[in-house]
Amino acid sequence: MLGTVNLPEFTLGALLIVLLPGPNSMYVLSVAARKGVRRGYRAALGVLLGDTVLLTLTAAGAASLMGRSPGLFDVVKYLGAAYLAWLGVGMIRAAVQAVRRLGKTAATADGAPGAEAVAGDGAVLAGTAMATETAETATETATEPTPTTQQQQPNAAERSPLRRALIVSLLNPKAILFDLAFLSQFVSPHAVHPVAAFFLLSMIVQIFSVSYLSALILGGDRLAARFRRRRRLTASLTGGVGSLFLGFAVKLATASLG
Three-point CA angle 11, 84, 161, nearest 5°: 75
Higher pLDDT, 222 or 5: 5
**pLDDT number for residue 147:** 39
Please report whether residue 142 resides in a domain: no
Please report whether residue 27 resides in a domain: yes
Please report whether residue 57 resides in a domain: yes
Please report whether residue 191 resides in a domain: yes
Please report whether residue 233 resides in a domain: yes
- Rounded distance, CA 167 to CA 23, Å? 11
DSSP 8-state secondary structure symbol assigned to residue 232: H
Please report whether residue 1 resides in a domain: no
Please report whether residue 144 resides in a domain: no
**pLDDT number for residue 87:** 78
- Rounded distance, CA 147 to CA 75, Å? 42
Highest mean pLDDT among 16-20, 64-68, 220-224: 16-20
Domain count of the chain?
1
DSSP SS3 for 258: coil
166-206 pLDDT, tens digit each: 888 887 766 766 676 677 777 776 777 777 888 888 899 89
77-109 pLDDT, tens digit each: 787 678 778 878 988 888 888 888 877 776 675
110-167 pLDDT, tens digit each: 554 444 443 444 433 334 344 444 433 333 333 334 434 444 444 444 458 898 888 8
pLDDT surpassing 90 at residue 42: yes
Please report whether residue 143 resides in a domain: no
- Average pLDDT value for the chain: 72
Asked whether the CA dihedral 224, 228, 229, 232 is positive or negative, the reply is positive
48-85 pLDDT, tens digit each: 999 888 888 777 765 565 556 777 667 767 876 787 78
DSSP SS3 for 146: coil
Expressed as residue numbers, the domain containing 216 is 7-137+149-253
**pLDDT number for residue 109:** 59
